[in-house]
Structure 1
């Protein structure tokens, strides 16, 4: 299926690994020129080279989006080859903290990386989209935004902020031709997650094969209706749909790609 993305330019923040890398590669496969973003030049070059080797088009923008100077640099680099039509705010991270160890300075750090980084890029790139009458802004959120857990309270709250700002932005973009939406992944099998689960499997008695470990993890930690973890390509597919003209009528929406982890009708 042709998603009519040829000729578009997309900046995917935090796209040197994991979900961001998968999103960048699928957008490129659909004909989009992708700007690979990260803070490490070698990792960014590796992803861009892989996209180009597969027949796609890729550029690189380096910078720390937790700072104004870094955001300025990324916005400038991203626009050198032409205007950015699609902004995917994927960059972010979390600490393995709880209510005793997530001190206020960690909350500030989490908000700088997970929330204000998105705000900075929106404020730098969306005005141009509005002037041109077409654009896409997609936040990568998560189920913890609406169903937080005791652990990682700063991260839970930052996800809720990402969801909230995306809907506020959608209202602000009324009648502009630019949309703002959210993709909310569940537990996704990126390399870091697989390594973590393999390390903790013995203490949970999940077995030794990956099939047994994944089954045990889903049963005990992230129960869902599908019975497995998600794959990065499944998140990328939802993002690519929202980036396409086929999603012109989707505004302020959350697409959950979580196997049914979040038990809600709305």
Structure 2
């Protein structure tokens, strides 16, 4: 099936590792030119080279999106070789501080990193999409923005803000050919999560086998209809769909990919 990404150029922020890396690699596999972004040049180039070795097309843009100067650097590098058709806003940070621990400065810092950084890239990339008459803006959100928990309130709030920003952007892009949507992941397994599970297993009496640990952790912490953690490729696949020609009629939406963790209509 041709989803018509050949010739498209996609900037995926925070793609030098983790979920962003999985998204960038899947876009490249479908023929898109991907711009790998990160703050560490060596890590970003490693991802780009792995794509090039498979016959894909990849470039690198380095910069800290928490500053205007860093965002300028990333946008300039991304646009140097041509237009950007697809912007995937993925870069961000997490924090596990509680209400009693997170200071006002912590709130300001994570809002800048997780929300204003998205706005910076929208402001620098979307205007040239309007000239193209087609574009995709995809924001990575999260279930805690829909159903927040008592812990990490400042982080939860940034996810809700990402969702709000994306829908507002969709309204402003009416009849431009550009869509704006959110992909909202549930709990996704990765090496960092596996390390945390392994260390937490004795405290929660989850056993010693990693598969058993993962299953019991899901039951205790994130019960969902699939009974498991999600995989990065499952998020990437949803992003890929929203980038395709088959999603022209989807805008201002929040697509939950969480196994049914969030229970709302």
Query: Which TM-score band (shorter chain)?
Result: over 0.9
Q: Find the aligned partners of 1:222 and 1:55 in 2 and give their Cα distance.
A: 38
1:54 to partner: Cα distance: 1.4
Match of 1:146 in 2: 146
Q: Partner of 1:216 in structure 2?
A: 216
Q: Deviations over 1:22-47 (max 9, x none)?
A: 00000000000000000001110111
CA distance in 2, matches of 1:232, 1:139: 15
- Once the two structures are TM-superposed, the CA of residue 203 in structure 1 deviates from its matched residue by 0.7
Matches within 5 A, 1:98-247: 98-247=98-247
Distance 1:198 1:16 in 2: 25
CA distance, structure 2, for counterparts of residue 158 and residue 208 of structure 1:
35
Alignment TM-score, normalising by the size of structure 1 = 0.99
CA distance in 2, matches of 1:87, 1:211: 35
**Counterpart Cα distance in 2 of 1:42 and 1:201:** 34
CA distance in 2, matches of 1:53, 1:198: 34
SS, match of residue 60 in structure 1 = strand
> Structure 1: how far apart are the matches of 2:195 and 2:93?
16
Aligned to 2:43: 43
SS in 1 for 2:59: strand
Q: Could you tell me which residue of structure 2 aligns to residue 13 of structure 1?
A: 13
Equivalent residue number for residue 89 of structure 1: 89
CA distance in 2: counterparts of 1:178 and 1:45, whole angstroms: 29
Deviation >2 Å, runs of 4+: none
Deviation at 1:123, TM superposition (A): 0.3
CA distance in 2, matches of 1:63, 1:10: 16
CA offset digits 1:46-75 (Å, max 9, x no partner): 110111111111000000000000000000
Structure-1 separation of matches of 2:106 and 2:148: 18
Instruction: Give TM-score scaled by structure 2 length.
Output: 0.99
Report the CA distance between 1:94 and its aligned residue.
1.0
Separation (CA, whole Å) in 2 of partners of 1:205 and 1:49: 42
Which runs of 5 or more residues in structure 2 are unaligned? none
Secondary structure of the corresponding residue to residue 71 of structure 1: helix
Is 208-217 or 64-73 further displaced after alignment? 208-217
Count of matched residue positions in the alignment of Structure 1 and Structure 2: 265
Q: What is the deviation of 1:106?
A: 0.6
2:16 counterpart SS class: coil
How much does 1:210 deviate?
1.1
SS at match of 1:183: strand
